[in-house]
Amino acid sequence: MTRVSDEHGFVRPRTGGSQGSIHMKFLISRVCLFLFAGAWAAMAESATAGAPARLGGSDEPRLTARAQGDRLEVWRAGEWRPLFVAGVNLGLALPGHTFGQPPREVAVYRDWFRQMRGLGINTVRVYSLIHPAFYQALREHNLAEPEQPLWLLQEVWPEENPAGNDYLAPENLRPFLDEIALEVDALHGAATIPQRSGRAWGAYTADVYPWLLGWLIGRELEPYEVATTDARHAGFRHPGRFMTAPDGSPTENWLAQCMDWLLECETRRHGWQHPVALVSWPTLDPLQHASETSLGRPKAEEHNDSAVVDIRHFRGGPALRAGYFGAYHIYPNYPEFMNNEPGYDAYHDSLGRLRYGGYLREFLARHRGVPALVAEFGLATGLGYSQTSPDGYLHGGLTEEAQGAGVARFFRAIHREGAAGGVVFEWMDEWAKKTWITAPYMIPYARHVLWHNVIDPEQNYGLLATEPDPPPAAPQDVQEGAGRLRRLEMRANAAFLFLDLEFAGPPPRWDAEELLIGIDTYARDRGGFRYRPDLAAVAPSGLEFLVRLTGAADGQLLALPSYNLGTYHFASVRDDSGRFEEIRRPIREARTTASGQVIPADFEDASRLRFGPFDASLRTLNTWCVEGQHLRVRLPWARLNVTDPSSRQVLDDPRPFTHRPFFGRDELRAMVTDGMVVSIVIAAKDRAVVLDRLPAAGAVAPAPFAWPTWDVAPAYRQRLKAGTPLLRAAIAEVTATPVSP
């Protein structure tokens, strides 16, 4: 099938005639088979979704979903029924793959859909057109499960970093409108897209319109993009038949233009309409937050509150039948006013204060009459975090149980405050993700999809854990000792370095002894050569890190001062002082608001090593434990300044930085190491006495542990996280509650 444009610019299919002779009986049989299959599919679809509604005569568009008042409704069994959206956002980057490389197997999606329905999820949201297998799987699932269909929210994603930060510039606008028309055809099963770079392609033959809940237009627009578009196109208005923004800004009118064009394509080309939504986030909300005004700084220079996208400026045109709504990404820990706005302290639920609910109440109070969908909300598990929260809902750094409990609590607040539903971010952990605290240190950046950065919050948002297989049962490196420190075994996988230390007798007496594990990651002649300032013991090679364990409680991972990410030092140098520092990564600078509110600086404690049992998964956040005569430690690669374990590269950049630099990808320097040298000391806590060491004093330094490297995705496994039963219970409770008219 080829695609051409008619005189109005609408994309329509054009099929070419067949060539060559075809046996008539064969042709007739194929036609009959096709007609029978088509009739069967139509009957099955009718039984599943019901005949679509028409608001008027036969010339009116078909509808299976609409926005009505503050809610979304679906057409089921001959009547409109309210649907409270219990959804999940579907990210598609499996280990070793980027976002543009989704699975191509129908069975993969069918298995995910089965698990989603098991949690009570009724809606799946995708961010852009994806592989045809997804839509085929969705259609098959919904035909096979007519009583439990999965509704689809389909986003059309504008390019990030548009040329000139101007969405109305012709070089940005025209391709986006073309993509909208293409996706309208694809979801109707009427598009064949040639192979293209960075976007989905293939033969789209599965019609999923009967289960399409709505279209989403846009993304988290940056304030400077809004400001630039508004400044360059002052006075721009779009007079649409379906959507307008008569009192809106140029950016709002651009969104209305795109929504209008989508509805025009859908109605004219296929005789359907579905609700359409603008996508936004609290950064662009119409509220003013006092805590976002810094003392002595013009308001225009603030990131938050400096630009607005307001759904109250939008209007449906005379041809609109399905309605429109707002889709918002709302998290409990960003923007910073979620943490700092004093008024949100007043909101309480049955568990106590919930500042997230305070924001929802304030925002949704200004949104009445048009449905507001919380299209992204969630919490990340893992061993690192980049934002804090007064209510404990950090951006990362949470256990799986805390994730499930928090998401369930937010879901109930979303329902209580009158939103049209909530869509959890996200379905599975994606190794292709990054956040600002990790992206500069994953070098080479192109290889970061090959390993799991367990300290990166964005990689650990999933309800479905995606984790590398455990390390091999047999040790990959061994050191033997002759004293209390009998044997050290080392292993590695795509997430951690594992150390297993066996004692000849009982473990250290923590009331009087401590264990010091020195880790030399590269450059044997550089690093610290003493374990403690008062200990005479000399390390066999220079240490970049020191693990200090002082009892059956949390321990610490300490860094050589010249190699401490928290102070922006990125190269090891020889150091005989025995001094190692805590790693405290800055995540927020101190500031004072115009009202005099002092907001202190905030830091991530990257040194903490939690005590308690663990396995190779992230079911717990523990990183060391004692089991009989064994002491086990696991250390995330990124905490050791390993920039890419798959190619054995470590950070090594001696350039001086005196303040927080804003690094891009691959700007810092790294080098390939030949492995790690680990040495261990048992020392008295209150005396400068070494009680045992491995290797023994005077022994030859052990050979580096050169863990195996890899160039393709390592073996991995997936499982539902431990907190998902709590979310399942919240979904069951909320969806069983009637949606008020």
Predicted pLDDT of residue 483: 94
pLDDT value at residue 221? 97
3-state secondary structure 198-251: CCCCEEECCCCHHHEEEEEEECCCCHHHHHHHHHHCCCCCCCCCCEECCCCCHH
Instruction: Provide the residue type at 390 as one letter.
Output: P
Name the residue with higher pLDDT: 41 or 375: 375
Helix (H) or strand (E) holding 173: helix 170-187
Q: Does domain 48-467+718-735 have CATH number 3.30.470.30?
A: no
Residues 537, 682: contact at Cβ < 8 Å?
Answer: no
471 vs 48, residue with greater confidence: 471
| 648 Cβ contact list (under 8 Å, min separation 6) | 642, 672, 673, 674, 675, 706, 707, 709
Q: What is the pLDDT of residue 380?
A: 98
Asked whether residue 21 carries a pLDDT value surpassing 50, the answer given is: no
If pLDDT is split at 50, 70 and 90, which confidence band does 603 have?
very high
Q: Are 522 and 573 in contact (CB under 8 A)?
A: no
pLDDT, average across residues 351-370: 97
Q: Find the mean pLDDT for residues 649-675.
A: 90
> Smallest Cα–Cα separation from 692: which of 428, 527, 502?
502
Work out the angle between the directed axes of helices 250-270 and 223-232 (0-180°, nearest 10): 90
Angle between helices 400-416 and 355-364 (to 10 degrees): 30
| Alpha-carbon separation of residue 663 from 396, 440, 452, 494 (angstroms) | 21, 6, 21, 25
d(CA 622, CA 554): 9
- 657 band by pLDDT with thresholds 50, 70 and 90: confident
For residues 446 and 61, give the distance between their C-alpha atoms in angstroms, rounded to a whole number.
Answer: 46
The whole-number pLDDT of residue 20 equals 34
Q: Specify the residue for token string 């579907």.
A: 90
Q: At what angle do helices 250-270 and 170-187 cross, to 10 degrees?
A: 30
Instruction: Say what the alpha-carbon torsion angle 244, 246, 250, 256 is, to the nearest 10 degrees.
Output: -10
Collapsed DSSP state (helix, strand, coil) of residue 126 = strand
> Which distant-in-sequence residues (6+ apart) come within 8 Å of 197 by Cβ?
none
DSSP-derived 3-state class of residue 139: helix
In percent, how much of the chain has pLDDT > 90?
83
**475: exposed, middle or buried (C-beta count within 10 Å: 0-12, 13-18, 19+)?**
middle
User: Quick one: tokens of 730?
Assistant: 């919240």
For residue 131, give every residue at least 6 positions away whose Cβ sits within 8 Å of its Cβ, in sequence order, or none: 102, 103, 104, 200, 202
**Which is more confidently placed, 554 or 669?**
669
- Stretch(es) of the chain classified as CATH 3.20.20.80: 48-467+718-735
> DSSP code of 159?
P
What's the sign of the alpha-carbon dihedral 501, 507, 511, 512? Answer: negative
Backbone angles phi, psi at 290, to 5 degrees: -60, -30
Sign of CA dihedral 91, 96, 102, 103: negative
CA dist 580 and 557 (Å) reads 9
User: 214: buried, middle or exposed (CB in 10 Å: 19+, 13-18, 0-12)?
Assistant: buried
Which of the four pLDDT bands, split at 50, 70 and 90, describes residue 15?
very low
Tell me, what's the pLDDT at 25?
Answer: 35
The CA distance from 537 to 91, in Å, is 51
pLDDT given for residue 51 in this prediction = 65
Before 426, cis peptide (omega within 30)?
yes
pTM of the model: 0.91
Residue 43: its pLDDT value, please? 38
Lowest mean pLDDT among 40-49, 241-250, 528-537: 40-49
pLDDT value at residue 8: 26
Q: CA-CA-CA-CA torsion for 340, 344, 348, 349, nearest 10 degrees? A: -90
* Dihedral (Cα; 140, 143, 149, 152), 10-degree rounding: 50
pLDDT of residue 305: 82
Per-residue pLDDT at 73: 97
pLDDT, one tens digit per residue, over 84-119 is 999 999 999 999 999 989 999 999 999 999 999 999
Average pLDDT over residues 333-362: 96
**What would the two tokens of residue 352 be?**
């106590």
536-549: average pLDDT: 96
**What local confidence, expressed as pLDDT, does residue 408 receive?**
98
Structure tokens at 46: 């009718």
Mean of all residue pLDDT scores within the chain: 91
Judge whether residue 72 has pLDDT over 80. yes
Distance CA 355, CA 346 (A): 8
pLDDT of residue 302: 74
Other beta carbons within 10 Å of 20: 4
- Contacting residues for 178 by C-beta, under 8 A, at least 6 apart: none
The pLDDT of 243-256, averaged and rounded, is 98
Q: Does residue 42 register a pLDDT over 50?
A: no
Question: What whole-number distance in Å separates Cα of residue 637 and Cα of residue 639?
Answer: 5
Q: How far is CA 444 from the centre of its chain?
A: 21
CB crowding 621-632: b at 16 or more within 10 Å, else e: bbbbbbeeeebb
pLDDT value for 737? 76
Task: Supply the DSSP symbol for 724.
Answer: H
Confidence tier at 550 by pLDDT (50, 70, 90): very high
700-729 as b/e: b if 16+ CB within 10 A: eebebbebeebeebbebebebbbbbebbbe
481-508: average pLDDT: 97
- Name the residue with tokens 């854990």: 465
Percent of the chain predicted with pLDDT > 70: 91
pLDDT tens, 551-578? 988 899 999 999 999 999 999 999 999 9
| Residue 293: pLDDT band with limits 50, 70, 90 | confident
